[in-house]
Structure 1
Amino acid sequence: MALAAGLATTLTAEARVTRIVIDSTTPVTGGAIPHETLRGRAFGELDPNDPKNAVITDVQLGRDTDGKVRYETSFTVTKPVNLGQASGFMWHDVPNRGGNIIINQTERDLGDIGLASGWQADNAGGTAVPTNHATGTNHWVVVPMARENGQLVTGKVLARVVNRSGPASQPLNVMGNPVPYLPATLDTTQAVLTTHTKETVNGQVTVGSVIPSDQWAFARCDATTGFAGRTPIDNNEANLPGNLPVHVCVNGGFNPNLLYELVYVAKGAYVLGVGAAAFRDVGSFFKYQSADDFGNPNPIAGRVTHSSMRGSSQSGNFTRQWIYMGMNQDEANRMVHQGAWPQIAGRRVAANVRWGQPDGVLELYQMGSEGPQWWTDYPDAVRGVAARSIFSRCNLTGTCPKVIEHFGGSEVFALKMTTEWVGTSANYDIPLTRSVRRYYIGSTTHGGGGGGFVHQPAATPVNCPGNNWGTGTFRANPMPSTQMVNVIRVAMRDWLMKGINPPPSRYPTLIGGTLVDPTPQAMGFPMGIPGIPASIFNPENFVFPVFDYDWGPQYNKTDATGVATNLPPPIRAVIPMKVPKVDADGNELGGVPTVLRDAPLGTYLGWNITATGFHAGQVCNYVGGYIPFATTQAERLASGDPRLSLVERYGSHDGYVAAVRAAANNAFAQGYLLAADRDALIQAAEASSVLR
């Protein structure tokens, strides 16, 4: 106890993890090296005056009475039961919307250690704190709410309700999770509920009307009670998160043909950026410390020599944001992780701004593309920001990690990724540094498809992700990213542990002629493919652009920090986007060689078309589609399909297998396919029913 007290006295000037608690230990089944998962909590504190924490929005407004800012966060450690079998490599995984993460069997068989910990601090939906820490499975972090003179700060928040109908009240959601902010008052005269009759992909809004304040309420109602029998919501912040989501009831019910946009005064602004510092501190503790301030041992102390953080989609965006904030430098000025692997993520998540909604997915009026998105200092010409990069802060301290990033088609067409490649002016390829590798897996849906060699899968339309977006027209895109992910896993470990360079970057470029304007003419898209109307290529329907929003004078457009006061924000400019050029089948060019793209069974789209609802006829948010080739020439001609049929291409089953073999050997020879995956793909093609 005396030793612990002494440690606490000597270390209080540093922000760090001060205590860990292990709540449960669970064996992990399968694999050559037995592993176990420890689930627990870490408690930490920040010095708001430390320059390393100054980037955090509202950090000074989250202080306790002693001047420190405190947090509590979940973590899981998956480690070999016998630490003598540990490889020395640790993956620090970023949870996606609070989801549980355990390193896979391939990594466990290598003896790797997995660490996952909370970062998303909005305490809503999947990131809500569980009542039982031992049995809870999600990840979360508890941070303070901003206060001035002891009172919660208030401010404007925007929420939208789309494709909802009927007399029942509707929740304020973002990506299916609650908008995490309670109204400061239930007085609807202090809010504005507006309807829109149409919104285009490129930001043209047709306003319907403002609903009178006495015709709606922050309340719950159903078909039986109606508006007259509504029950006001609970907006007491002491009851969070149980009183989420916030519900809105409209007299006469919701019209499915309208989008409802609500701007209201909220309270309870989480100091979201503390979540990034908590992720930093947890990673540093498990990598470097032997015990916490109270003598609780680090269960993997001394076993980690190399580490990489990684995140997919939303958590990949956080990975980029975390690096931009300078969080890869810990309180002792050490590099936290030597590597970083942001996956299918071309922006920075809105997790360091007051009233931020980290669950947002870049639909209209959502943050995420502000500030530099690129790795080399480069000016933001359209938005008038001087040359900066994601590496700007860590370059000053020598703590930038080696980065491998990979993307696919859906990130181009709906997640606004190509700004990272060509900037806001979109007229020059921004060079990569030697410490970054970029791989584009062409013609894939978000996260990649299920793979396999099935010519005619079930014609089941896909659901469009996002805020209740709707259903797509085309069946699911099977183009996988699994094989390239397997390559990157090995490449990252070898790069950090052995100094072996990964394969060269491969992605569409302006100078290479594979990155072009989003028109069918520039893309070389084959017109007349059954089911693809020419109207999808219209600017109001096709590629989601980056908008230059005016968020107001209290918002820092370089750092994407501060407070947004203009809601909804005026659009000052629509930033031009680029897309990959395609071949005669409509499949994308310029990416890494992949077997299904080079021995195709159809057209694999990084986009889909919304079938019904408010966004009908527009790109179906960030999901891809698949349109099979005709089997025979006669079938092709009967449908007017410009693409060659399977028989015209391959002749027979053996001919198709030969094409797969050639594609697999080509990808392997260039370093973009592992030998085991090459052999498995060839065997799967041989066993398939294609042209049998």
Structure 2
Amino acid sequence: MPDGPAETMPRDDWRFGRIDSNGEYHPDPDYICSREGFQKGRLYQVTYTALGAPVIGLSFAALRDCVSWFKYGSSSVDSPVPGIRKSYAYGRSQTGRFLRTFVHNDFNLDESGREAMDGIIANVAGGMRGEFNQRFGQNSKDRNNMMHQLFPFASIEQTDLETEETGSLHQRLDERGSRLKVMYTNSSAEYHRADASLLHTDPDGRMDIEQGKNVRVFHFAGTEHGTGVWPPTDHGVIVTGAERAQNIRSVIDYSPLLRACLVNLDLWVTEGIDPPKSKHPRIDDGTLVPTSDLISIFSSIPGSNYPYRHAIPRRREFSADEKDEHPRILPPEIGNAFGGLVPMVDSDGNEIGGIISPEISVPVAAHTGWTLRHADIGGEGQLLMFAGGTIPFPATESDRLTTGDPRPSIEARYTNRDEYLSKVRASAEALVSERYLLEIDIETSVSLGERMWDYFTGP
């Protein structure tokens, strides 16, 4: 497991270099190789002394100064796009983590004391930051023993009772009274990575917390890190064969929900119209729970392949000085786990907290933020990073009885396609009334429902 006990690989079993197609070894400091080969599905970590750290922290200042120039121009060079009144930043995954780190360090104030960005959407970043301002920082990486799952996670001040550290992700912004508006949006995959919930709970996952006045937190229920894979397949779309899952990959496209966030952010900044309230699973209403609470539900669903072990974010000490952001202790000293929690599901296997899209409120399948790695790619007991799954309902009652699936069949739920699509439309209209969906995306939701029905009910 990625966060399991480390095993030392004998030094004679590996070396710096590469082995070509003829089996010949070539020394090369940019590669690591082993005659025995490396096992699929395992993480290998090498700790060594390096030279020549590139400068990477300038990216924060570069973004700030570029945006400031677009908005205000400079004393010597006018803005190339005059007339800009407001500016927004959107970051997804790695760039979402970049924006969380940007916020934490408050790089938004330019050298003339003006706000660069007026609004930010950090999407599917979970509770992570990243190595964007560290010597030899690997800012594209977010695996264990990296500087990513770090306290503070939330937008309000908290104290980590274990380390006695106190802080807030927005502390510097709040201390100077910044008006920057920020939305944190996440899929279910970031919850099953066990850090997204830390945006809206205490560090130990014991109680809910509220957000600062300039912050919203939204959870797109039943989604994976990306915007879904269609047509349905157990393969990913980035590297053929390298992302194979045990289930069909998630098919839910959360783009319509994200579009509504952007429009709401713009209204918030330009007209002072508050966006909808934060919407995410909560401890106090039973919609945010430990991963073990889902076992009994999914164990009764044939072929669900629920993960019996999740990677857990842990406290990691990279330096004896908590104010020192550069790693001095590698590998870091591992402390106790943070209290990562996941969204609760109903008897169908669908999540019941957060913004629930029509594909989930009017379901023909269960949609998850997790799926396990396929045996073909190794590590079959581990979560496939970033991926969600789709577990179709039986199409007919006959199918249900044959498979022993306890969930009602599609045939038993809906009289016909028209009834199903009518319910999809009604669900979309309800989201529009709450401003979690744009009116123009009602038809988008119906179109997505059409393809879901046609595929999962068969020819």
The answer to whether the aligner puts 1:689 opposite 2:429 as a matched pair is no
Say whether the 8 Å CA contact 1:334–1:399 is kept in structure 2: no
1:585 CA drift (Å)? 0.8
| 1:659 corresponding residue in structure 2 | 423
The structure 2 residue matched to 1:305, chosen from 85, 88, 105, is 85
Aligned pairs, number: 453
Q: Say whether the 8 Å CA contact 1:491–1:502 is kept in structure 2.
A: yes
1:589 pairs with 2:352: yes
- After TM superposition, the structure 1 = structure 2 runs for residues 643-654 of structure 1, keeping only pairs within 5 Å, are 643-654=407-418
**Residue equivalent to 1:529:** 301
Gaps of 5+ in 2: none
- In structure 2, the residue matched to 1:498 is 271
Distance 2:37 2:443 in 1: 58
2:235 to 452, 458, 461: 461
Tell me if structure 2 keeps the 8 A contact 1:607–1:623: yes
- Confirm or deny that 1:547 pairs with 2:326: no
Partner deviation per Cα, 1:394-439 (whole Å, 9 max, x = no partner): 2222225111221110111126211222132211112111211121
**Who is 2:9 aligned against?**
209
- 1:219 matched to 2:3: no
Equivalent positions of 1:322-361 (< 5 A) are: 322-346=102-126, 347-361=128-142
Q: Which letter does structure 2 place at the counterpart of 1:486? A: R
The alignment's C-alpha RMSD in Å is 2.5
For residues 42-191 of structure 1, the aligned pairs below 5 Å read: none
Q: Is it true that 1:630 corresponds to 2:430 in the alignment?
A: no
Deviations 1:514-547 (A, max 9, x none): 11111135x773432221246x22xxx22x3211
Task: Check 1:502–1:253 CA distance in 2 against 1; reply closer, same or farther (3 A cut).
Answer: closer
Task: Write out per-residue CA displacement over residues 347-401 of structure 1, whole angstroms, 9 at most, x where no aligned residue.
Answer: 212212222110012x221221113111011112233312x11111122222251
Question: Is 1:601 paired with 2:361?
Answer: no
Contact 2:229 2:251 (C-alpha < 8 Å) held by counterparts:
yes
Q: 2:145 aligns with which of 365, 376, 389?
A: 365
Question: Structure 1 residue 437 and structure 2 residue 216: aligned?
Answer: yes
CA shift, 1:682, in A, is 2.9
CA contact (8 A) 1:527 1:642 kept: no
- How far residue 218 of structure 1 moved from its aligned partner, in angstroms, is 2.3
TM-score by length of 2: 0.91
User: Which of 667, 671, 675 is equivalent to 2:439?
Assistant: 675
1:130-172 per-residue CA deviation (whole Å, 9 max, x = no partner) reads xxxxxxxxxxxxxxxxxxxxxxxxxxxxxxxxxxxxxxxxxxx
Q: 1:413 — aligned with what?
A: 192
Task: For 1:495 and 1:676, locate their aligned partners in 2 and report how far apart those are by CA, in whole Å.
Answer: 20
1:339 positional shift: 1.2
CA distance in 1, matches of 2:37, 2:80: 55
Q: What is the alpha-carbon distance in structure 2 between the residues aligned to residue 683 and residue 221 of structure 1?
A: 51
CA contact (8 A) 1:378 1:430 kept: no
Distance 1:562-1:504 versus aligned 2 partners, 3 A rule:
closer
- Letter in structure 1 aligned against 2:406: P
Structure 1 224/510 Cα, relative in aligned 2: closer, same or farther at 3 Å? same
Structure ID, larger Rg: 1
* Contact 1:461-1:473 at 8 Å conserved across structures: no
User: In structure 1, the residue corresponding to 2:48 is in which secondary structure?
Assistant: strand
* Structure-2 separation of matches of 1:370 and 1:591: 24
* Aligned counterparts of 1:488 and 1:421: Cα–Cα separation in 2: 18
Tell me by how many angstroms 1:463 deviates: 6.8
* Alignment match, 1:578: 341
Is the Cα–Cα contact under 8 Å of residues 155 and 211 in structure 2 kept in the other structure?
A: yes
Distance in structure 2 (CA, Å) of the matches to 1:460 and 1:348: 30
Q: Compared with structure 1, are the counterparts of its residues 252 and 435 closer, same or farther at alpha carbon in structure 2 (3 Å cutoff)?
A: closer
Q: Given the two structures, how large is their TM-score scaled by the length of structure 1?
A: 0.62
Partner of 1:16: none
Distance in 1 between residues matched to 2:74 and 2:9, nearest whole Å: 62
- Which runs of no fewer than 5 residues in structure 1 stay unpaired? 1-199, 236-245, 452-456
Alignment of 1:365-384 (within 5 A): 365-384=145-164
The structure 1 residue matched to 2:53, chosen from 269, 287, 293, is 269
**Aligned letter for 1:681?**
S
How far apart are 1:611 and its partner, in Å?
1.3
Partner of 1:132: none
- Give, in angstroms, the shift of residue 208 of structure 1: 5.0
Q: Distance in 1 between matches of 2:342 and 2:227?
A: 18
Distance 1:645 1:423 in 2: 40
Per the TM alignment, residue 206 of structure 1 is displaced from its structure 2 partner at its CA by 4.9
Residue in structure 2 matched with residue 61 of structure 1 by the alignment: none
Q: 1:282 to 1:459 in 2, by over 3 A?
A: closer
CA distance in 1 between partners of 2:41 and 2:173 (Å): 48
1:638 Cα deviation after fit: 0.8
Q: Are 1:481 and 2:254 matched, yes or no?
A: yes
Which position in structure 1 is the counterpart of 2:373? 610
The answer for the alignment partner of 1:314 in structure 2 is 94
Q: How has the CA–CA distance of structure 1 residues 530 and 479 changed in structure 2, closer, same or farther, with 3 Å as cutoff?
A: same
Q: Please say if residues 194 and 342 of structure 2, whose CA atoms lie closer than 8 Å, have aligned partners that are also in contact.
A: no
After TM superposition, give the deviation of residue 313 of structure 1 in Å: 0.9
Does the Cα contact within 8 Å between 1:444 and 1:481 map onto a contact in 2?
A: yes
Deviation at 1:261, TM superposition (A): 2.7
Residue 464 (structure 1) shift:
9.1
SS in 2 for 1:209: coil
